[in-house]
Structure 1
Amino acid sequence: MPLFVAAHVIARNTGQRTGSRTGDVSGANLQQQNMHTILVIGGYGFFGERICNALAQTAGIRLLIGGRNATRARAVAEGLGLQSSQGIAIDARATDLMQRFLKLGVDSVIHTAGPFQNQDYAVARAAIAAGANYIDLADGRDFVAGIEQLDTAARERRVFVTSGASSLPALSSAVVDRYLSRFSRLDSIRHGIGSGARSPGLATMQGVFGYCGRPFCRLVEGHWQTTRGWLDLQRYPFPEPVGKRFLGSCDVPDLVLFPRRYPGVRTVTFHAGFASAPGHLFVWAASQLVRLGLLSSILPLAGPLHAISRWLEPFVSDKGAMFVSLEGLGLDGKPQKLDWHLVAAKNHGPHIPCGAAIALAQKLARGEALPHGAMPCVGLLTVEDYLAALRRFDIHEMPA
């Protein structure tokens, strides 16, 4: 082990920072020592920059904005009123990540550089080895569920590691947990998202387009059934001012996590859609071609469609929404159905997936206890925790 790595490990184990001398610490250095250092990988990306914007304004946090392009990272840092040195070049695929984390004095890592569907846990493993907490915004079903394989290592290093700190499953599970006590038996969880005009980042679109038209399993009426990405077309009536939106089936972590978390549930489905009906129907039609074997994948369309959606943005509704619909038996034994909605206007919808990472990072910075170990991001936040991180935006819930 290199000497500087060993020094950092010793410092973490003794609760001290390296690079300081006892009895010879300036006020500025002492203040920095008492701050929680958070590195956001992908910090100038679609979700990463939004997270950085919130954390840069949070007391007690020393923020580092990381990405492969140092110029872009420094530009974001300066734009947020930070020192340019807080924008750094770092590659999530580098082999020396653990050493970099130690050298930077990182307490927590937020990984936003997707898509996660084809990634391994190298970043999380490096964070654990460096004694740092780890949070990611992964939406890949297997990636999020599989984070538990790092649980023993995370417990041994006494760090908090979670995957899926986003709308799914962090917010969706918080909604179910809030209303679970109103049911004597919960049978069905159906939920979905209709986006506004602001399209998600290219990495997110690539993650979704990768499984369009391809089969995956979900629980329906007590049986695991096969559906296909972006098919199973339906039109969901969101509350006004959003209105009806086309939605298609999506492969998300909730489909495997919820049947485990809520024993007895017989149906778990998730659907999503674009604000533009023609855009949604185009992707639906392309997914049909994959189903029929006429296209191997629509992944090559992600880049062009992302560019087109940005161009069309002024002509599409700036409002989006999320719903969670629960069905079962109420406490009186009678059938009960509860519908929860979250509505975003002014193209503020893309801030919603950032809420969990912001809320968790702020808890860590305040010294609040979070469990040691590695786990999907379920049961870690309440709805109130989540939405408090988004209170600056035009985002409002409609409770069931």
Structure 2
Amino acid sequence: MGKHTILVLGGYGFFGSRICQELAADSGIRVLVAGRDGKRALAFATELGLAADQAVTLDAQAPDLSARLVELGVKTVIHTAGPFQGQGYEVARAAIAAGANYIDLADGRDFVAGIGALDQAAREAGVFVTSGASSLPALSSAVVDQYLPRFRQLDTIRHGIGSGARSPGLATMRGVFSYCGKPFRWLQRGRWVPQWGWLNLRRYRFPEPVGPRWLSSINVPDLLLFPERYPGVKTVRFQAGFAGTLGHLFVWCASWLVRLQLLPSLVSLAQPLHAMSAWMEPWISDKGGMFVSLEGTGHDGEKLKLDWHLVAAQNHGPWIPCGASIALARKLAAGLPMPSGAMACMGQLSVKDYLAALQRFDIQELPA
């Protein structure tokens, strides 16, 4: 059996480069580093020790994208070229038409939740299509699934992420800043109530070595997907924060200007703040964390609260969102059975599966 050819779109970018690096070491996988900038693709492929023909100049919006995938012999597409907010499903449709599996790292609430619109086409093509193969909802839902049997009734899911010093790619920053100060809804005590991006400031204490961090409310796919996946849950909330206190409080204040309609958006600040974050990185903590807190009633009828944590050091936190696509790609390359159809990335990986893809890094699980 030949190697499983995986094309990583945005393969020289912030997350794509990490995914390519891991998959390139797998003997059963042939990685194609793809993106609009052929020179960058070639430079990175060369850095990884790949052949020149494993660097591909490819535009996600090209009308012949499906034909190119067939020409290249692609079996699986991993789409990392965000931001996904405002994108359509052109890449996923092209993959389906080419008879290829499709995985993306999308964090856009509507984008991930809407991937089911491609379910029939994916089933007919016999391919696996999933969106949100990242910390959210792939890892967060795996954590809830792991502990759900300990509850007679799960009432509340509160979870969040505190980043380390290493800033994500500019595209990700633009996606994050696009909803600063913008309205969304989350489920609270059985009612859908309004929130605004990067407001609702809260102090959360992660386990050492991360420590306390400021967090704010973020619009993520879980807020819509979890109430459907876990019937009976009355509260679902998610918050996130930067490693640097001043940076987080600046974005929080600026988000108020958008909330009060004094600024239309913070997207224009993404590039200068991204550059500033890179400059300040040596003076900011290289540690980050993720938590999932579950509350409800145990099988003994008593109240039950479980707190799960993941902590990362040495700026290895950015590898965490890559874990799902790496794990899924290896499953597909190994010929393990995967469902045909299109779905949000929930129920395809256990916590153990997910973290096995990250075992080389300074990332530690602290079970509940």
Structure 2 distance, partners of 1:221, 1:110, is 37
Q: Residue 342 of structure 1: which of 292, 297, 310 is its match?
A: 310
Amino acid across the alignment from 1:52: C
Aligned counterpart, 1:24: none
Q: Please give the TM-score of this superposition, normalised by the length of structure 1.
A: 0.92
CA RMSD of aligned residues (A): 0.5
Amino acid in the other structure paired with 1:342 = L
Residue identity in the other structure for 1:306: H
Q: Which 5+ residue runs of structure 2 have no aligned equivalent?
A: none
Q: CA contact under 8 A between 1:195 and 1:273: conserved in structure 2? A: yes
Residue 59 of structure 1: CA displacement? 1.8
CA distance in 2, matches of 1:192, 1:97: 36
How far is the alpha carbon of 1:81 from its aligned partner? 1.1
- TM-aligned CA deviation for residue 289 of structure 1: 0.5
Aligned to 1:208: 176
Residues 240-265 of structure 1 show CA distances to partners (whole Å, capped at 9, x for unaligned) of 11110000000000000000000000
Q: In structure 1, give the amino acid aligned to 2:296.
A: G
* Map of 2:31 onto structure 1: 63
**Which of 125, 131, 141 is the matching residue for 2:109?**
141
Farther off after superposition, 79-88 or 223-232: 79-88
Distance 2:173 2:217 in 1: 15
Letter matched to residue 75 of structure 2: D
Q: How does 1:220-369 map to 2 (within 5 A)?
A: 220-369=188-337
**1:178 deviation in Å?**
0.2
Residue 83 of structure 2 corresponds to residue 115 of structure 1: yes
SS at match of 2:358: coil
Q: Give deviations 1:324-355, integer Å, cap 9, x for gaps.
A: 00000011010000000000000000000000
Equivalent of 2:357 in 365, 384, 389: 389
The one-letter code of the counterpart of 1:108 is: T
Identify the match of residue 80 of structure 1 among 45, 48, 68. Answer: 48
CA–CA distance in structure 1, aligned partners of residues 189 and 26 of structure 2: 45
Q: Which runs of 5+ in 1 are unaligned?
A: 1-32
Whole-angstrom distance in 2 between the partners of 1:75 and 1:292: 45
State the SS of the aligned residue for 1:368: coil
What is the deviation of 1:85? Answer: 1.5
Q: Distance in 2 between matches of 1:236 and 1:186?
A: 22
Q: Distance in 2 between matches of 1:230 and 1:191?
A: 15
Say if 1:75 and 1:84, in contact at 8 Å, map to a contact too.
no
Q: Secondary structure at the match of 1:272?
A: strand
Which structure has the greater CA radius of gyration?
Answer: 1
Q: Which amino acid in structure 2 is aligned with residue 240 of structure 1?
A: E
Whole-Å separation in 2 of the counterparts to 1:35 and 1:85:
15
Q: What one-letter code is carried by the residue in structure 1 that aligns with 2:325?
A: A
1:84-132 deviations in whole A, cap 9, x for unaligned? 2201100111111000000001000000000000100000000000000
Task: Spell out, residue by residue over 1:261-319, the C-alpha distance to the aligned partner (whole angstroms, 9 max, x if none).
Answer: 00000000000000000000000000000111111111100000000000000000000
State the alpha-carbon separation in 2 of the partners of residues 84 and 276 from structure 1. Answer: 40
Task: Tell me the distance in 2 between the aligned counterparts of 1:219 and 1:380.
Answer: 25
Cα shift at 1:75: 1.0
Is 2:90 the partner of 1:126? no
The aligned amino acid for 1:365 is A
Q: Displaced runs of 4+ in structure 1, greater than 4 A?
A: none
State the distance in 2 between where 1:277 and 1:331 align: 41
Q: Distance in 1 between matches of 2:340 and 2:164?
A: 37
Alignment coverage as a number of residue pairs? 368
1:78: Cα distance to partner?
Answer: 1.0
Output the CA distance in 1 between the equivalents of 2:60 and 2:216: 32
* 3-state SS in 1 of match to 2:180: coil
| Corresponding position of 1:103 | 71
Equivalent residue number for residue 13 of structure 1: none
Structure 2: how far apart are the matches of 1:336 and 1:59?
A: 45
State the identity as a percent. Answer: 69
Secondary structure of residue in 2 paired with 1:264: coil
CA contact (8 A) 1:173 1:379 kept: yes
Could you tell me which amino acid in structure 2 is paired with residue 170 of structure 1?
A: A
Distance 1:287 1:188 in 2: 27
Alpha-carbon separation, structure 1, partners of 2:225 and 2:105: 16
- Distance across 2 between alignment mates of 1:69 and 1:243: 40
TM-score, normalising length: structure 2: 0.99
| Structure-1 separation of matches of 2:208 and 2:364 | 12
